[in-house]
Every structure is written in C-alpha cells, then in structure tokens.
Structure 1
Amino acid sequence: MSDAVAHLIFDVESIADGDLIARVRYSDENLSASEAIAKYQAERLEQTGSTFIPHTFMVPIAVVIAKVSEDFRLLDIKSLDEPKSPGEPGFRPHVMTKHFWQGWEAYHMPQWVTFNGRTFDIPLMELAAFRFGLSVPKWFDESGYKSRRNRFSTASHLDLQELLTNFSAARFNGGLNLAAQALGKPGKMGLSGDQVQSYYDRGDLKAISDYCRCDVLDTYFVFLRCMVMTGKIDLRRETELVAIAKAWIESQQETCQACADYLSKWRLWHNPWQADEDEQLAAATMFETEVASNTSGD
C-alpha cells in the first residue's frame, strides 16, 4: 500500500486587490483600496445579485490542499503558509502561490481535483503565478491536445462539477454544498465565498482558512462518490475510505477547530438499498453503520 500522492484536492479563497481595482476601474476618482472594493462590490450586486468580484482582480488568501493516495486514501490536509503560532508571518499570497505550484511539481505532478476549479481556482492560481513572477513550465507545456491545461484533460485536472454536468451541458444548482449534503456531509459551514472579504478586512484569516479546509473535506467525499459512479471503486470500498478519513479527522480535532466543527455536522449517508433489491449494495455501508454504533456506545 503506497502513500505516494496521486491526487491533490484543493480549494482557494481569495480577496480583492483594491489598489488594482482603483487603478483599472476608477483611475480618475482617487479612491482608496477599500473605497474601490466597496464601489465595485456595489456595482456587482446590482448587476449580478452578488458582491463577488471576478478572479482577475483577486489574489489567494487561503489555499488548502488534501493529499490523496493512488488508492484514494486521505493522507493529509495542509493550509499553505498558515502560521504555526501567533506573530509568525503567514497567509501571504505570493508565498502560497509558490508553495502551490512547487508542491505540485515536488509530488511529480499528481492530478488536481476541484469542484468548479476550472473556471475559478485554477485560473486564479495561474494568474497569481503571472502576478508574482513565478515560472510553471510543466503546467504550461506545449503538447497540443495532450497539454495539462487542455479543458478535457482530466488526468491533469478533474473538476468534479464538470464531471457531474458533462462539461457544463447541464447545470449543477446547489454546487458543492448540495453535493456534499446529499452524501450526509456538512456542506457549507457558516461562511460563504462572498463573505471572505469582510472576514479578511477584520483580520480573521484563520476563519477563512478553516472554511477553506471544510470545503476541501467536502470535495474529498464528493470525489469518492464520483469514483464510485465512474467505476474506479465500489460502494463498499468507498465506505471503508470514508471511515479511514473520518478517523483521520477525529485524530486532528483537538488541534484543528475546523476538523472539530466538521465532525459536529457529520451525518451518515442513508443507503436506500434493501437486500431483496440488491444484497451487495444493501450490505455495502454496514461497516460505517457498525463503526458509528460502536462509537456512540463508548
């Protein structure tokens, strides 16, 4: 059983670059960074119903990555450039971007896995490399349709939303929150992407990182079910992997508030199969049920 990293499941939270917005959009108005952000958010709210600003004006402020083995076991989760103690520098966009791309190369270019990362997370991290002067030649290769940046190259980047919508042929209303909750997992944990800016403005960067970590956990469990759907594993193996991951989260909860919060919202997936319909499917999740019963009885 190899612990080599074959998949990197990640999520990014971002904040607006107010100085850039002021220069590009309001160059004649002499606005401060915060004034430019507020004005642009008001415009976006009127135009789209959301204050979310396009990724071209954003920089990463939290990047969380789950390392997953070839046999789909959760190995570890890291929040890039998260300080280990108060007073240490951390959550620096340029440092996170460097660690993101250099880490991918250090692990021999495993598959990126995201939920809606094709239209936001990956472009944001590419643009961050551009902004901060980083070279990523192995990502920006020139191999034509085999290029890692090819939209349909799922070996390099599997966007689970694209898998579930046949590359946007359908819509996935409800997003990651719906997909996770359909599997009994917590989904959104008290924060949403359009609130990240306000949390950053008041200096609560740890809360942003924790929110990002919970999204990565949700994405991992959605990834597992997608592997069942596409025949990479069966339901019994998914149940075993979910139990392994839950044990890992439990081992982290004393030192990781996000893990403790995630477990507090954990529910078992309801298996609808009856033995007379499909005995194997009906029995597939008994392991998780037994583990839950034994834990509750301790």
Structure 2
Amino acid sequence: MNLFVFDIETVPDLDGGRRLHGLEGLSDKDVANVMFNKRRQENGTEFLRLHLHRVVAISAVLRSSDRVKVWSLGDPDSGEAELIQRFYDGIDRFTPTLVSWNGGGFDLPVLHYRAMLHGISAPRYWETGEEDTSFRWNNYLSRYHTRHTDLMDLLAGYQARAYVPLDEMAGLLGFPGKMGMSGAKVWESFQAGEIGRIRDYCETDVLNTYLVYLRYQLFRGQLLESAHAAELRLLADSLAEENKPHLTAFLDAWRAADPFLRRAGAASA
C-alpha cells in the first residue's frame, strides 16, 4: 500500500483578487490589503475564502514498501499549476491512500478550485465507481471512506465543536508541532522570497500529521505496539539519513519529547 500524507501552504491569489474586485492597477500589497479588509468586514477574520488561496507548497510523507520519504513537490520555483498537476498525477499513477489534517475542510477544496482554474484533469481522484467498481464503496470524495482520511475530522467524530489544531494535538502526543513558524506567517515569508523556508515548514507539518496517523493506527489496532515502534524507528532513521537542517531539528525535538520513540529504541544522534 502507498500511504501519501500531505499538506499545502497558500498565499492570497492576487490575480483573482484583482479580477473579482476590480482592482487592476493596484500594487500587490494594496490588492492584498483590500482582500484582507473585505474578508475582515465579512466575518472578522483575514482568512480568505478558499477559492482565493494560491498554492505555493505541497509537501508529503510517502510510506511505501520498506521506505518512508518526506519531500515537497516540484522545485522552489515551480508554479502553482505544476505543483497541483504533480499532486493529481501521483494519484492517477499510484492510487495512494491519502491522509491529511483538515484536508477535507481546507486542502482538498483549495486544490479543487485551483485545479479548475488551471484546467487540470484528475480522473482517478474523481472516480466514484463508474469506471472502477472498487471505488463505489471507497473513494477519495466521501467523508467516511478510507482512501482519504482527514484525521482532524475523524478523531473529532465528525463534530466541528471537537476539532483540534494540529499543533496542539501534536504537542499533546509528544511531537514537535510548529517549529518557529506557522501558517499565519506564510504570506510574510512569501513576500520576503523565503519559499524554501515555507517548504521546510510544510514538511515538518506533514511529519506531525504522519506521526498522529501512526498513533491513530496504534489506537485502532491496525498497528501492534511492536509494529508501531518499528514505524517510528524507520522514520527516525530516514530523517537522520536525510541530514537536512530542518529535518534534523524536527528529529531532535521529537527525540526529546516522545517517550514512544525512546522506547522504540531509535538510534540516537
């Protein structure tokens, strides 16, 4: 089975804001301010409606065969269309099991709107049994199917009042959580040209999601304690082998806080 845990990072879609609000001729900064102000007047928050989010990073943890890999799709200079195309191409080619934190409420709807904007085709993702009958009772679109597991929604029992931020759930379980950045700072970092920093942050976020998923699999009995420990060791060893500063920092913070990892006997730094 191919397990694909994913997360996206976004910034305001300035071109869309210009088009929808008649803001041609204004600078990017002014367009963004108008978009934020309009949204604040609507409901008191600057968090834009989902169709006005532009995707700047998609990061993933892939667990397949005997390996686990964390990376960001495309290159730092890849455009939005390329990132989204790569995401759906992977689904078309490998039919992975998707895992997210609030993917049903944010990531996937954003990807839907943006893929339509760019004219991207994703037939496997939208399959519901017309061509492949195995998708009739388990597809990517149903809230209650397992081809996509939205951990935030599932663990809350599909009750919005029980939703928990990923950072808090990760911290509660002994995982690193946010490390010097948050989604609220992505726009600021993007304006400063720090796309590499955004991609690194997105990768640590998706690692938190993967660790929550492993604990969830232990909880539901799909992983025995020994198998769970083996998965933790595999991930820790993979992060150590990558030898990238942000992944090493994540690994060090994880080692320091998670008793399950210590009991698993993962190699020390």
Question: Shorter-chain TM-score: which interval?
Answer: 0.7 to 0.9
How does the TM-score come out when normalised to structure 1?
Answer: 0.80
Q: May I ask how many residue pairs the two structures share in their alignment?
A: 263
Report if aligned partners of 1:50, 1:194 keep a CA contact under 8 Å in 2.
no
Amino acid at match of 2:37: A
The whole-number CA distance in structure 2 between the counterparts of 1:262 and 1:40 is 34
Report if aligned partners of 1:22, 1:33 keep a CA contact under 8 Å in 2.
no
The whole-number CA distance in structure 1 between the counterparts of 2:226 and 2:262 is 10
Secondary structure, counterpart of 2:46 in structure 1: coil
Q: Which runs of 4+ in 1 moved over 6 A?
A: none
Q: Say which of 144, 155, 159 aligns to 2:146.
A: 155
Report if aligned partners of 2:39, 2:46 keep a CA contact under 8 Å in 1.
yes
The whole-number CA distance in structure 1 between the counterparts of 2:42 and 2:124 is 38
Query: Structure 1 residues 222 and 30 mapped into 2: Cα distance closer, same or farther (>3 Å)?
Result: same
The whole-number CA distance in structure 1 between the counterparts of 2:268 and 2:26 is 57
Of the two, which has the highest radius of gyration?
Answer: 1
Deviation digits for residues 88-109 of structure 1 (CA, Å, limit 9, x no counterpart) = xx231111111110012222x1
Matching residue of 1:79? 72
1:55 CA drift (Å): 1.8
Between stretches 123-132 and 218-227, larger displacement belongs to 123-132
Matching residue of 2:26? 31
The whole-number CA distance in structure 2 between the counterparts of 1:68 and 1:28 is 45
Considering fraction of residues, name the structure with more helix: 2
The whole-number CA distance in structure 2 between the counterparts of 1:214 and 1:7 is 17
Kindly report the root-mean-square deviation, in angstroms, between the aligned alpha carbons of the 2 structures: 2.4
Q: Say which of 146, 153, 158 aligns to 2:137.
A: 146
The whole-number CA distance in structure 1 between the counterparts of 2:107 and 2:264 is 38
In the TM superposition, 1:191-206 aligns within 5 A as: 191-206=181-196
Are 1:258 and 2:246 counterparts? yes
Deviation digits for residues 132-164 of structure 1 (CA, Å, limit 9, x no counterpart) = 111111222243863724333432210001111
Query: Structure 1 residues 91 and 261 mapped into 2: Cα distance closer, same or farther (>3 Å)?
Result: farther
Query: Structure 1 residues 250 and 50 mapped into 2: Cα distance closer, same or farther (>3 Å)?
Result: farther
Query: Structure 1 residues 229 and 74 mapped into 2: Cα distance closer, same or farther (>3 Å)?
Result: farther
Q: Say which of 247, 251, 263 aligns to 1:289.
A: 263
The whole-number CA distance in structure 2 between the counterparts of 1:290 and 1:103 is 32
- Structure 2 gaps of 5+ residues are 131-135
1:29 CA drift (Å): 7.5
1:74 CA drift (Å): 5.3
Report if aligned partners of 1:191, 1:211 keep a CA contact under 8 Å in 2.
yes
Matching residue of 2:46? 51
Query: Structure 1 residues 291 and 192 mapped into 2: Cα distance closer, same or farther (>3 Å)?
Result: same
1:263 CA drift (Å): 2.2
Deviation digits for residues 257-294 of structure 1 (CA, Å, limit 9, x no counterpart) = 22022123223434xxxxxxxxxxxxxx5x833736x7
Are 1:68 and 2:55 counterparts? no
Amino acid at match of 1:291: G
In the TM superposition, 1:13-32 aligns within 5 A as: 13-25=9-21, 27=22, 30-32=25-27
Report if aligned partners of 2:156, 2:163 keep a CA contact under 8 Å in 1.
yes
Secondary structure, counterpart of 1:13 in structure 2: strand
